[in-house]
Chains A and B, each alone.
Chain A
Amino acid sequence: MSKRAAPEVNAGSMADIAFLLLIFFLVTTTIEVDSGLNRKLPPIEETEPPIIKQKNIFTVLLNGNDQLLVEDEIMEVKDLREAAIAFLDNGGDGSCDFCKGKRDPESSDNPSKAIISLKNERETTYKTYIAVQNELVAAYNVLRNKRAEALYGKTFTEMEANVNDVNWPGNKERLKDQLEKIKLDYPQKLSEVQ
Chain B
Amino acid sequence: MKKMRFSIYRYNPETDAKPYMQDYEVEIGPKDIKLLDVLTKLKAMDDTVSFRRSCREGICGSDGMNINGKNGLACLTDVATLAEPVTLRPLPGLPVVRDLIVDMTQFFKQYHSIKPYVVNNTPAPERERLQSPEDRKELDGLYECILCACCSTSCPSFWWNPDKFVGPAGLLAAYRFIADTRDEITSERLDNLEDPYRLFRCHTIMNCVDVCPKHLNPTRAIGKIKDLMVKRAV
Whether chain B is bound by chain A comes out as no
Residues of chain B having any CB pair with chain A under 8 Å: none
